[in-house]
Amino acid sequence: MEVTAAFSRRTTRQVMVGDVPVGGGAPISVQSMTVTRTADHEATLQQIYDLAMAGADIVRCTCNEIEAAEGLARIVPRSPVPIVADIHHQYRMALAALEAGVHCLRLNPGNIRKPEHIRLVAAEARDRGVPIRIGVNGGSLHPDLYDKHGGRVTPEAMVESALDEIGYFAEVGFDLIKISVKASSVPIMIEAYRQLAEVTDHPLHLGVTEAGPPPAGLLKSTAGIATLLAEGIGDTIRYSLTADPVEEARAGRQLLESLGLRERKNVDLIACPSCGRAEIDVVAVAEKAMEAFTDREIPLQVAIMGCVVNGPGEARDADLGIAAGRRRGHLFVKGQNAAVVDEDEMVDALVEWAEFIHEHGADAALARVDTDRAAREAERDRKGLLAEQGDDVNDAGTRIERIRSRIA
Ligand code: SF4
């Protein structure tokens, strides 16, 4: 499926995280982070596979103890996606992770502060050709910068932290760099990335840190990440949710697909908002359908519509949809009526048709059925519902009449 390039993107350098290019016009990648103990390499690998299935292109694992580094040595060769080691406080863990063969490091400049340690890690990464993400975090800024900027987390302080780290890296000739300047405040995070994009062409990793549990965490992350992506800023993204990390990967993937920045991989489910005409519980059916399509890689737009009176017309651009009639569902393909199914079989029918269309195309799917008969049945239900419900099922006309009579 073709992707519409809706936003022009800032020109950045490119680094390779394993076999995944980041920056330099490469597709924006989705990242997530395991929550298992990295030392438990089997459980961590299982989670990495789950994250990759959900849409993660790159996965980060903490490397906080020597057992974690040893776990990484077992994980990296078996991982389906490149692995980033997350390093805080102990520069020796960065050296151990490099020894384990990780594809990238994340260093927090606020936590690894001694210039000689930073230079040592950068020189080792340089010799191995491994990139480093400078992961500035508003919650763990270097104390000197914090004081310098008035005892507050400011966009300027975060950008200065990133530039200081680039300076240390430059001293040893290392420039395989990605940068993040995350904050839990969306306005501060947005401004920090905007300022950073003005002063460097290194690729940027976007995220709102400690965004919290969904749905608020999803909204905060989307507000920050999507705003910047729409301005052309950002080369790789991560949702930081207090939730199963699979949700992070799914959310990242869905955001990029909805912005037209990545090719669609999964179903784009649309559903009507429901109204007085609805013949089914649209929310419940849509949720059931979402569950049924999750993890099925079918890049089609599928519609769930509450009634056959307006549904097929309102969703005529969908590849496939279903609209409720009188205790049955009218399935339509590209706006054309195709089949009638029992109400309790609507979701199963959608999945079966979606799989067939994905494999053989809409024309082949329609060729299997009597579309004229399906259209006649739909028309019969449509007329029946109109006769029962009337033209003005939401009673808007009556209300408008009352308003007019009041102000007349
Ligand atoms: S008219 Fe039908 S399709 Fe449109 S919102 Fe109401 S129930 Fe849904």
DSSP character string of 52-108: HHHT-SEEEEE--SHHHHHHHHHHGGG-SS-EEEEE-S-HHHHHHHHHHT-SEEEE-
- Residue 155 in any domain: the answer is yes
Q: Using CA positions, which residue lies closest to atom 2 of ligand 1?
A: 307
Q: Which of 281, 285, 308, 314 to mutate to test the pocket of ligand 1 (most atoms within 8 A of CB)?
A: 314
**Last residue of one domain, picked from the residues 194, 226, 258:** 258
In ligand 1, the atom with minimum distance to the C-alpha of 309 is 2
Phi and psi of 228, rounded to 5°? Answer: -70, -40
Task: Say how many Å lie between the CA of residue 277 and the centre of ligand 1.
Answer: 6
Task: Say how many Å lie between the CA of residue 305 and the centre of ligand 1.
Answer: 6
Q: What is the pTM of this model?
A: 0.84
* Residue found under tokens 């949710």: 241
* Residue 377: predicted pLDDT: 95
* Residue 1: predicted pLDDT: 42
In ligand 1, the atom with minimum distance to the C-alpha of 308 is 2
- Residue 150 in any domain: the answer is yes
Same domain, yes or no: 244 and 346: no
Same domain, yes or no: 200 and 56: yes
* Range list of β-strands (E), 245-399: 268-271, 301-305, 320-324, 328-333, 336-342
* Residue 394: predicted pLDDT: 77
- Residue 3 in any domain: the answer is no
Same domain, yes or no: 37 and 89: yes
* Residue 398: predicted pLDDT: 83
- What Cα–Cα distance (Å) separates residue 315 from each residue in 32, 99, 258, 340? 34, 54, 17, 17
Q: Which of 275, 279, 285, 385 to mutate to test the pocket of ligand 1 (most atoms within 8 A of CB)?
A: 275
Ligand 1: list residues with CB < 6 Å.
272-275, 277-278, 305-307, 309-311, 314
Same domain, yes or no: 189 and 324: no
- Residue 133's identity, in one-letter code, is R
* Residue 5: predicted pLDDT: 53
**Domain of residue 184, residue span:** 14-258
- Residue 163 in any domain: the answer is yes
**Last residue of one domain, picked from the residues 213, 234, 258:** 258
Same domain, yes or no: 273 and 253: no
Task: Say how many Å lie between the CA of residue 408 and the centre of ligand 1.
Answer: 32
In ligand 1, the atom with minimum distance to the C-alpha of 279 is 7
Q: How far apart are alpha carbons 157 and 152 in whole angstroms?
A: 8
Task: Say how many Å lie between the CA of residue 393 and the centre of ligand 1.
Answer: 10
Same domain, yes or no: 224 and 276: no
* Residue 341: predicted pLDDT: 96
- Residue 88 in any domain: the answer is yes
In ligand 1, the atom with minimum distance to the C-alpha of 311 is 3
Task: Say how many Å lie between the CA of residue 347 and the centre of ligand 1.
Answer: 18
Same domain, yes or no: 115 and 38: yes
- Residue 408 in any domain: the answer is no
The residues near 57 (Cβ < 8 Å, ≥ 6 apart) are: 20, 29, 30, 31, 81, 82, 236
- Residue 402 in any domain: the answer is no
Phi and psi of 237, rounded to 5°? Answer: -135, 155
Q: Which CATH number covers residue 35?
A: 3.20.20.20
Q: Using CA positions, which residue lies closest to atom 6 of ligand 1?
A: 275
Q: How far apart are alpha carbons 241 and 141 in whole angstroms?
A: 21
Task: Say how many Å lie between the CA of residue 5 and the centre of ligand 1.
Answer: 32
Task: Say how many Å lie between the CA of residue 258 and the centre of ligand 1.
Answer: 23
Q: Kindly report the length of the chain.
A: 408
Same domain, yes or no: 209 and 139: yes
Same domain, yes or no: 249 and 349: no
- Residue 398 in any domain: the answer is no
Q: What is the pLDDT along the chain (408 residues), one digit of tens a residue?
A: 444 556 889 999 999 999 999 999 999 999 999 999 999 999 999 999 999 989 999 999 999 999 999 999 999 999 999 999 999 899 999 999 999 999 999 999 989 999 999 999 999 999 999 999 999 999 999 999 999 999 999 999 999 999 999 999 999 999 999 999 999 999 999 999 999 999 999 999 999 998 899 999 999 999 999 999 999 999 999 999 999 999 999 999 999 999 999 998 889 999 998 888 999 999 999 999 999 998 888 999 999 999 999 888 888 889 999 999 988 999 999 999 999 999 999 999 999 999 999 999 999 999 999 999 999 999 999 999 999 988 888 787 888 888 888 887
**Residue 80 contacts residue 55 (beta carbons within 8 Å):** no
Task: Say how many Å lie between the CA of residue 272 and the centre of ligand 1.
Answer: 6
**Last residue of one domain, picked from the residues 258, 285, 311:** 258
Q: How far apart are alpha carbons 249 and 245 in whole angstroms?
A: 7
Same domain, yes or no: 249 and 293: no
